[in-house]
Structure 1
């Protein structure tokens, strides 16, 4: 069976206070990312640390809007807040961004576990 090609990217963003960033990153991986890995064609997580906040971004890749909608329970732009998001996040995100993938070049990839890609 041929590998499925992603045509849709779903982007979620959230911000925490710097002192909560490490704990939120662990929680988000266990409660949010692990279940997503089993459903999406691919998942990437990003983190930017600043003096006043840490921003997290998750990009998940989907074969089509219907596959993404099946995961979200209907509306592909609907957001499912994790149980402890109110505790960690500065504000709850109102939605996600859904983009059509127009082109992709090269290989993606840090390995699982937060390690950077070898040079």
Structure 2
């Protein structure tokens, strides 16, 4: 029986608009597969603005212990991809951890 997610781990990063397509390809190839192998679910969002593009990745976890096993330590620490320093405007300093209270989309 599948486990229901109780926690969402949210990462946000931004690129310059002209580098957004390249970063999207990069995060799809290098970042998302790591989450797909271990999280209960993952979503990637993109918001194009005038001069920059924001990316948001949300992964869903059964509990804090599962998330900690994935991060091999503190789940709120950001684990940057190798090319993030060159591709992102600035390196994100934090990860958000949210308890899922209501899920009307059937994720739980």
After TM superposition, the score normalised by the length of structure 1 is 0.87
Q: Which runs of 5+ in 1 are unaligned?
A: 109-119
Structure 2 unaligned segments of length 5 or more: list them: none
For 1:73 and 1:80, how far apart are their aligned partners in 2? 10
Deviation at 1:16, TM superposition (A): 0.1
2:23 is the counterpart of 1:24? yes
- Deviating beyond 3 angstroms after TM superposition, the runs of 4 or more aligned structure 1 residues are none
Distance (whole Å) between structure 2 residues aligned to residue 88 and residue 95 of structure 1: 17
Q: 1 or 2, which has the higher helix percentage?
A: 2
Higher strand share: 2
1:65-115 deviations in Å (ceiling 9; x for gaps): 00000001111101110000011000000010000001101346xxxxxxx
Report what 2:10 is aligned to.
11
